[in-house]
């Protein structure tokens, strides 16, 4: 009889304890518009796995790639209300939310990709992330992702601003990029990443601009473009942010761990990125996409008034960026 009472007591204790165990495990969501296997997605997935292991399974992470949770603008909005915990996003849609990031959105700001990496890896990169965190955006800047340089892909080769006349070119959702494309001779059309394929296919736009890995991974290379004209007008890093609501619920140790693993993810993504650029460029060429080299100076000169207009508020910061070796 006594043993039966002990069994019931043990069963009751287990029943009371089980919900507490279940409640102790928190499932968090991360998202990116890029598809599964893309360098950014893989780096974030590995960050989540490391965080899960280091916290003994207290946190479980779920990755939603391929824009299944919406556009980058929608992902930002979801993170702001705590419905999404980590979002990998480009700086285009972040500009209207946190204007300070617009300094990186200026065309021809960086000398080359090595210069851009030196900036985001150093004090300036950290300062921009901290400004995001300190802003009213309800986001925490975790780290940077390399997205290489952006050039234009169209049905006809682009070798000068005159070749862009009358061409509707898709750009990211930021007024600066519309103005940039217009300055270079085209007609900038703001459009979400997920809508670009059909817009190219149906002729809503005549072309778009992005890096080779995204051009290939999004299948946009099959939607009509024949030429990839290497203007490299933008060398813009991407970033990943966390919901401030989620961040504030974490302990100081968990926050420090997240920052440490975010830095590791930043470096891991870069190695994955470098490999992917070579792989995707080879695949694009094998498909028949022609890579066009050109004189970039006319495009640089055409966007000079824009740099003067938008760069005035970042004058000191731009000098610091130019000074980075």
d(CA 123, CA 323) in angstroms, rounded, equals 13
d(CA 300, CA 278) in angstroms, rounded, equals 26
Show the tokens assigned to 312.
Answer: 């005035």
Contact criterion met (CB below 8 Å) for 230 and 244: no
Q: Does position 164 have pLDDT exceeding 90, yes or no?
A: yes
Q: List residues bridging with 207 in a β-sheet.
A: 154, 169
* Mean predicted confidence (pLDDT) in 194-200: 96
- Per-residue confidence band for 276, with pLDDT thresholds at 50, 70 and 90: very high
Q: Does position 4 have pLDDT exceeding 80, yes or no?
A: no
- Per-residue confidence band for 119, with pLDDT thresholds at 50, 70 and 90: very high
Output phi, psi for 227, to 5 deg: -125, 140
Tens of pLDDT, residue by residue over 19-34, are 433 335 799 999 999 9
Tens of pLDDT, residue by residue over 37-66, are 999 999 999 999 999 999 999 999 999 999
Show the tokens assigned to 111.
Answer: 């000398």
pLDDT score at 19: 42
- Per-residue confidence band for 128, with pLDDT thresholds at 50, 70 and 90: very high
Q: Domains, the chain, ranges and CATH? A: 2-146+237-280 (3.40.190.170), 150-235+282-323 (3.40.190.170)
Contact criterion met (CB below 8 Å) for 177 and 105: yes
Contact criterion met (CB below 8 Å) for 109 and 101: no
Alpha-carbon distances of 254 from 11, 55, 201, rounded to whole Å: 34, 8, 46
* Mean predicted confidence (pLDDT) in 96-117: 92
Residues 6+ apart with CB under 8 A from 248: none
Strand order from edge to edge, sheet including 26-32: 59-64, 26-32, 86-89, 238-243, 139-145
Work out the percent of the chain whose per-residue pLDDT is above 70: 93
Contact criterion met (CB below 8 Å) for 119 and 319: no
pLDDT score at 16: 40
Q: Does position 245 have pLDDT exceeding 90, yes or no?
A: yes
* Angle formed at CA 313 by CA 312 and CA 318, multiple of 5 degrees: 75
Long-range CB contacts for residues 125-134, cutoff 8 Å, separation at least 24: 125/237, 128/100, 128/101, 128/103, 128/104, 129/239, 131/98, 131/100, 131/101, 132/94, 132/98, 132/100, 132/101, 132/239, 132/241, 133/244
Question: What average pLDDT does the chain have?
Answer: 91
The structure's pTM equals 0.84
**Of the ranges 22-31, 42-51, 89-98, 106-115, which one carries the lowest mean pLDDT score?**
22-31
Tens of pLDDT, residue by residue over 147-159, are 999 999 999 999 9
**Of the ranges 24-28, 167-171, 221-225, 287-291, which one carries the lowest mean pLDDT score?**
24-28
* Mean predicted confidence (pLDDT) in 87-114: 90
* Mean predicted confidence (pLDDT) in 241-270: 98
Give me the DSSP letters along 134-187. HSTT-EEEEEEE----EEEEESS---SGGGGTT-EEEE-SSHHHHHHHHHTTSE
pLDDT score at 98: 85
pLDDT score at 14: 43
Closest CA to 28 of 59, 7, 72: 59
């Amino acid at each position: 009889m006594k043993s039966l009472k002990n069994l019931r007591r043990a069963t009751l204790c287990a029943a009371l304890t089980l919900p507490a165990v279940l409640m102790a495990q928190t499932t968090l969501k991360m998202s990116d518009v890029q598809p599964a296997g893309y360098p950014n997605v893989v780096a974030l997935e590995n960050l989540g796995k490391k965080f899960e292991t280091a916290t003994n399974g207290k946190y479980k992470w779920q990755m939603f790639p391929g824009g299944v949770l919406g556009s980058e603008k929608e992902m930002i909005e979801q993170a702001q209300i705590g419905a999404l915990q980590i979002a990998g996003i480009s700086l285009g849609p972040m500009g209207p939310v946190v204007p300070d990031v617009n300094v990186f959105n200026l065309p021809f700001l960086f000398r080359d990709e090595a210069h851009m990496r030196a900036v985001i890896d150093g004090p300036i990169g950290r300062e921009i992330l901290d400004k995001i965190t300190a802003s009213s955006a309800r986001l925490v800047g975790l780290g940077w992702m390399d997205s290489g340089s952006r050039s234009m892909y169209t049905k006809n080769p682009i070798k000068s601003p005159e070749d862009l006349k009358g061409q509707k070119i898709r750009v990211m959702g930021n007024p600066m990029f519309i103005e940039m494309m217009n300055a270079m001779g085209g007609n900038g059309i703001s459009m979400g990443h997920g809508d670009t394929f059909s817009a190219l296919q149906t002729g809503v736009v005549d072309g778009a601009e992005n890096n080779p890995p995204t051009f290939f991974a999004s299948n946009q290379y099959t939607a009509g473009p024949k030429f990839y004209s290497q203007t490299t007008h933008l060398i813009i890093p991407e970033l990943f942010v966390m919901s401030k609501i989620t961040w504030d619920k974490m302990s100081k140790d968990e926050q420090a761990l997240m920052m440490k693993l975010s830095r590791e993810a930043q470096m891991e993504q870069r190695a994955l990125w470098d490999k992917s650029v070579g792989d995707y460029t080879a695949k694009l060429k094998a498909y028949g996409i022609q890579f066009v080299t050109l004189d970039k100076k006319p495009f640089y000169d055409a966007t000079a008034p824009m740099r003067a207009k938008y760069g005035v508020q970042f004058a000191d910061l731009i000098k610091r960026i130019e000074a980075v070796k």
